[in-house]
Structure 1
Amino acid sequence: MSTAEGFPLRAAAQARTLAGMDALLVECRACPRLVEWREETAREKRAAFRDWEYWGRPVPGFGPADASLLITGLAPAAHGANRTGRMFTGDRSGDLLFATLYELGLASRALATRSDDGLELFGVRVTAPVHCAPPDNRPTPGERDTCRPWLTREAQLLRPTLRAVVALGAFGWQAALAALGEAGWSVPRPRPVFGHGVQVPLTHVGGTGDPLTVFGCYHVSQRNVFTGRLTPDMLRRVLADAAQACGWRIRHAKDDLRPS
């Protein structure tokens, strides 16, 4: 393990595969505040999960190594992914996200409860700009920047197949654009402002490969859903548009999308 702040940059750069990167990522201890919080939460637990053995470590991305669509959120939930060890698994945010992906034919099941529940994603990978659960679900800008090499390297390793990125929330939007810029895509300046349904096409600086489209979407948080700021239909539309940007054709009913 490494406690040095420079560990993410060095370790991410040496990763040659997503699996190799994930193996390094879960050993990261670069942000003392996040390490303390994630481990304290794992020890104390929530009463409803007192029989669980919490993951309590950085949570890697989840999905195939040849994904065309990358979905990035904020950070693992203290009693969700920090408990289960898999992104968006075991909390209300994930309930909506995976149910929608299932409806679109991009997930094998609608409900994600634990890391060994058999869930598969088809052409989709989910990740976050910060891989440790933060206090009050609010990572600091410094923690975001320290963790960015993982997202940058993730995008680089996905580049041969990556066609669309859905950024959930303004935090995820800003982090995604910064990481994509470092990964070799040309990001407009000033950077595009976040908004639900906003679409920004990017080209790679090298001038090769298919274009990449970044989509903005309100975060699938309980607060956004309960207040109606984000509805299931709004989420479905953004994910359907992103699926179309990946070249996946419509089958059966309108908007019923699956990788072809």
Structure 2
Amino acid sequence: MAVAHRAPAVSRVPPRPASPQRTVRTAYRGRMDDSSALARLDRRVADCRACPRLVEWREEVARTKRAAFADWTYWGRPVPGFGPADARLAIIGLAPAAHGGNRTGRMFTGDRSGDVLYQALYDVGLASQPTSVSADDGLELYGVRITAPVHCAPPANKPTPGERDTCRPWLVQELRLLRPTLRAVVVLGAFGWQAALPAFAEAGWTVPRPRPAFAHGTRVALDGLDLFGCFHVSQRNTFTGRLTADMLREVLRTAAEAAGLP
């Protein structure tokens, strides 16, 4: 089994007014001594300011906050991937929400989408606990890394094609670093699928042509790696029953088996 990843500590109530810059330093305090290539990439991701619209939005949200989270120091930066550097399974999906990942600094954390995803990961034995509420809650992932095709929270949860393409090099680099151990990937949603396939090609995998279409339950073989499609864990999908807990657990369980995870 791959080494578990424990989230770095982050203070929820700071002694002075919040700032996105100070939040990053606090949240990465537990990682700064980690000289691994993936940790260095995570730090570079968190400093990215390549998309002006996303920078303006994420920082405005971090300043104004939501009343329910008035005592939080919002992350207010791009949200790096979460999980061990030797992961055998990756999950890729549009993740940072304005008051979720943009607040907590962890993928799929602090919103209803994350509630569904982490509960399912726990149910199939891939997470140490069924909830992910903050970066200091002790959650560990077992052999799994979660990342996104766009690392910043976009207005209305809709990044533009240009923002998606600008963010792709981060995903390409992350995939290259994970490649020695990576054996399976679950891609959440059509947006993630459309962003991930070019990234896999740029990272060195042979992607079929024409590129396979997204569908829930799709399984594609890529040079020793199994790629799985899954409906996104968005509220729209889970509230309407388009994606049920059983459907999500089945995809995760099948992908874990393909990755050789117990």
- TM-score band by shorter chain is 0.7 to 0.9
Q: How does 1:1-260 map to 2 (within 5 A)?
A: 17-203=37-223, 211-248=224-261, 260=262
- How many angstroms apart in 2 are the aligned matches of 1:64 and 1:16? 11
Question: RMSD of the alignment, in Å?
Answer: 1.2
Instruction: Tell me the alpha carbon deviations over residues 151-201 of structure 1, each in whole angstroms, 9 at most, x when there is no partner.
Output: 001100000100011000000011111111100000011110000000000
State the one-letter code of the partner of 1:227: T
State the one-letter code of the partner of 2:144: V
Deviating more after overlay: 16-25 vs 60-69:
16-25
1:47 Cα deviation from its structure 2 partner = 1.1
Unpaired stretches in structure 1, ≥5 consecutive residues: 2-14, 204-210, 249-259
Corresponding position of 1:207 = none
- Residue 125 of structure 1 aligns to a residue whose secondary structure is strand
State the one-letter code of the partner of 2:252: L
State the one-letter code of the partner of 1:222: Q
State the one-letter code of the partner of 1:246: A
User: Are the counterparts in 2 of residues 163 and 245 from structure 1 also a CA contact under 8 Å?
Assistant: yes
Q: TM-score, normalised by structure 1?
A: 0.86
How many residue pairs get aligned? The number is 229
Identity %: 72
User: Are the counterparts in 2 of residues 148 and 179 from structure 1 also a CA contact under 8 Å?
Assistant: yes
- Residue 57 of structure 2 aligns to a residue whose secondary structure is helix
- How many angstroms apart in 2 are the aligned matches of 1:176 and 1:110? 27
- Residue 118 of structure 1 aligns to a residue whose secondary structure is coil
- Residue 151 of structure 2 aligns to a residue whose secondary structure is coil
Following TM superposition, the consecutive aligned residue runs of length 4 or more in structure 1 with deviations greater than 2 angstroms are: none
1:16 Cα deviation from its structure 2 partner = 6.8
- Residue 141 of structure 2 aligns to a residue whose secondary structure is coil
1:101 Cα deviation from its structure 2 partner = 0.5
State the one-letter code of the partner of 1:57: R
Unpaired stretches in structure 2, ≥5 consecutive residues: 1-20, 22-34
1:51 Cα deviation from its structure 2 partner = 1.0
Q: TM-score, normalised by structure 2?
A: 0.86
